[in-house]
Structure 1
Amino acid sequence: MASYVIAGASRGLGYQYLQTLSSNPSNTVIGLARNPSAVKSQLASDGITNVHIFAGDLTSPSSLSAAATEVSKIANGKVDHLIVNGAYVSDKTSSLTPTGFIGNEELLKSDFEASINTNVVGVIYTINAFLPLIKAGSVKKVVVISTGMTEPDLIKEAEVAASVTYAASKAATNVVVYKYATELKSEGIIFLALSPGLVRTGLPEEMYDYLAEVFRKYEPGFKGAISTQESVEAQLKVIQGVGIEQSGEFLSHLGTKRWL
């Protein structure tokens, strides 16, 4: 029996984690969402009854602390896996290159602040809130969902100059993961930054076609975006296989440093 807490479980990869993990009745599966009632309604609609949902906002340490208290009650004071999935990405800035912010300086500042608050500070809030439960667990794994868009080789080879604030904030998150791994290695806690690949999470289909063409400059055999189910199943294999010697690493859903 293993326990999992998924932060950012309302949709996309986070909700898929709930679906996939709950298919094993021996798992204790817990999701955090800013709007728990909506997630509960979706779970009921999908016929999923063995998932616990609590309110938890990555930008609110008090809500995360309260969620950890509730989780402790149903998980006997310990959690095996914490998966931090929530992220901020803005439609207004995702297509902008660095020079695209010329004349848009206030947008650059506000978008960086929002990106850092959720993607970096929010990750620290979440890990710190649940760390006592992770320390008490037997598996002791903390996974932060990142993106291959932070990698210089992909940026250079695929010539991706856009998505500045999102990629930069996620790169900072990867550093935070290394810092945790370094601090807590002696306690046997495994930290991992994990890229999910290019996943279909609601963009128009033509956008996925465009991205596939862009990414083939980096990976000529790239077949295109994968489903949330494919991504989560691949991620779980990586999570299950990672050991303390890899703590702090940034890996892809393939379990390697190749991102597609």
Structure 2
Amino acid sequence: MASVEKRVVVITGGSRGLGLEFIRQLSQSPDILIITVVRNPNKSDGLKQYLGDKVVAIQGDMAEVDSFPSIAEKISLLGGGKVDVLINNAGIMIGEGASPSEGISKSTVGEWEQQFKVNVIGPVFFTNAIIPLLEKGQEKKVVNIASMLGDLQYTEKNPNLHFASYSATKAAVTMVNAKFDIEFKEKGFIFLALNPGWVKTDLAGAHMAAYAPLESEESISQCLRFINRSTVEHSGKFWSLDGNPEAVVM
């Protein structure tokens, strides 16, 4: 169980990519407990190297909403009954949702269902499960990882980049973030829809990662600086990794 003085940060999808980089950088801080929720804790060699007093992994799948109350109970026991920051990072990009060239007419019902379940429904109901713990935390911050692909202005400026079904889920994330802010702003919560930029990760496959201008270390470093300095004035809005409004226009 974490002491009251420790900062308790919960991160979903911490076994690879941006989630793992969040863990790497946050674990360098003193007096912190990072709890990550991942599907297969024992299968991530990258995550295993950080597990210990500062980093704990809990098995959980963001597609299995019925499991969230049980996961929240485990988090409560580990975190001493509170959470300071929740980072909803877990997400999937599949089917034509991972294709820059194929339009929306080529997508399938299955890919839409799976992506909305993990990318939108999962964060909504996982956040609901963690709200009572956040209420007891010092910071009361929820970070919803969004994307420039879900930004209308970016879409208008880049008509040749489709990623249709995935983009729709990320547009939904920004609306979800705004709705949470409306409901909980009077309780001092801070909800951030945060675009980490186009980063070299394996989310969309190696063929797209090769074109990404940002390394994970640079992206998450900027994200954390903004998260740490964010206030209620930032809540409910869509931000780029450096704290500028809306998505990064490239």
How high is the TM-score relative to the length of structure 1?
0.85
Alignment check: 8 A CA contact 1:14 1:86 kept: yes
Distance in 2 between residues matched to 1:58 and 1:42, nearest whole Å: 20
Distance in 2 between residues matched to 1:240 and 1:87, nearest whole Å: 23
The structure-2 alpha-carbon separation of the partners of 1:21 and 1:114, relative to structure 1 and needing over 3 Å to count, comes to same
Secondary structure, aligned partner of 2:191: strand
Distance in 2 between residues matched to 1:89 and 1:204, nearest whole Å: 9
Q: CA deviation at 1:61?
A: 2.2
Equivalent residue pairs, number? 239
Q: CA deviation at 1:48?
A: 4.9
Q: CA deviation at 1:93?
A: 3.9
The structure-2 alpha-carbon separation of the partners of 1:204 and 1:111, relative to structure 1 and needing over 3 Å to count, comes to closer
Q: CA deviation at 1:16?
A: 1.1
2:83 is aligned with 1:79 = yes
Please say which of residues 196-205 and 175-184 is displaced more in the overlay. Answer: 196-205
2:242 is aligned with 1:254 = yes
Distance in 1 between residues matched to 2:206 and 2:235, nearest whole Å: 36
Residue aligning to 1:214: none
Distance in 2 between residues matched to 1:47 and 1:189, nearest whole Å: 29
User: Which amino acid in the other structure matches residue 148 of structure 2?
Assistant: G
Residue aligning to 1:239: 227
Distance in 2 between residues matched to 1:30 and 1:205, nearest whole Å: 28
Distance in 1 between residues matched to 2:209 and 2:14, nearest whole Å: 23
How high is the TM-score relative to the length of structure 2?
0.89
Secondary structure, aligned partner of 2:98: coil
> 1:108-257, aligned counterparts within 5 Å?
108-202=108-202, 207-208=208-209, 211=211, 224-257=212-245
Identity of aligned residues (%): 31
Please say which of residues 200-209 and 29-38 is displaced more in the overlay. Answer: 200-209
Distance in 2 between residues matched to 1:92 and 1:179, nearest whole Å: 28
Alignment check: 8 A CA contact 2:200 2:215 kept: yes
Structure 2: tracts of 5 or more residues without a match: 1-5
User: Which amino acid in the other structure matches residue 223 of structure 2?
Assistant: Q
Structure 1: tracts of 5 or more residues without a match: 102-106, 212-223
1:33 to 9, 34, 38: 38
Alignment check: 8 A CA contact 2:10 2:85 kept: yes
Secondary structure, aligned partner of 2:108: helix
Alignment check: 8 A CA contact 1:22 1:48 kept: no
Alignment check: 8 A CA contact 2:8 2:32 kept: yes
Q: CA deviation at 1:98?
A: 2.3
User: Which amino acid in the other structure matches residue 170 of structure 1?
Assistant: K
Deviations along 1:45-76, one digit per CA (max 9) or x if unpaired, are x3653211101211112332222111111211
